[in-house]
Amino acid sequence: MEDAMRAILALLIATTANVACAGELEFSYESFQMTQTGAAELVIKFTNRTGAHLDYAVARCALLDADNKAITTMPVIARDMPVGTIAYAKNYGPRDSRVKHVNCRIER
């Protein structure tokens, strides 16, 4: 069951728009999976192409059920991003078997 869930989640990540932009700050989904304890784990890759040092970058992410209805939201925050760098950030959602998808947007 867990392997099937991971395969479905990997397919969802691969079929969603993989890169999103807000100005020159970009992000992509690196991984989205359920941990052994049942919590949603999301890793995002941020790329700073703004031309300025960023103290932080935030993606606001909705954890969705099978019908794409929001269960909750969570921030994913990368800190200290000099110009032209890549930063990875991770956050965990709740232990909730209803979580099937994720959808994020850049706040900053």
Give how far the C-alpha of residue 88 lies from the chain's centroid of Cα atoms, to the nearest Å: 10
Query: Taking the chain, what is the end-to-end CA distance rounded to the nearest angstrom?
Result: 37
How far apart are alpha carbons 54 and 100 in whole angstroms? 32
**Amino acid 27: pLDDT:** 95
Q: Going by DSSP bridges, is the β-strand pair 70-81/54-64 parallel, antiparallel, or unpaired? A: antiparallel
- 99: pLDDT strictly greater than 50: yes
How many residues appear in the chain?
A: 108
Sign of the CA dihedral with 57 first, then 79, 10, and 41 last: negative
Question: Per-residue pLDDT tens for 25-73?
Answer: 999 999 999 999 999 999 999 999 999 999 999 999 999 999 999 999 9
What are the Cα distances from residue 17, in Å, to 11, 12, 75, 100? 12, 10, 19, 16
Q: How confident is the model at residue 2 (pLDDT cuts 50, 70, 90)?
A: low
- 20: pLDDT strictly greater than 70: no
Residues paired with residue 34 on neighbouring β-strands, in sequence order: 40
- 9: pLDDT strictly greater than 50: no
- 16: pLDDT strictly greater than 60: no
Average pLDDT, the chain: 85
**Amino acid 50: pLDDT:** 93
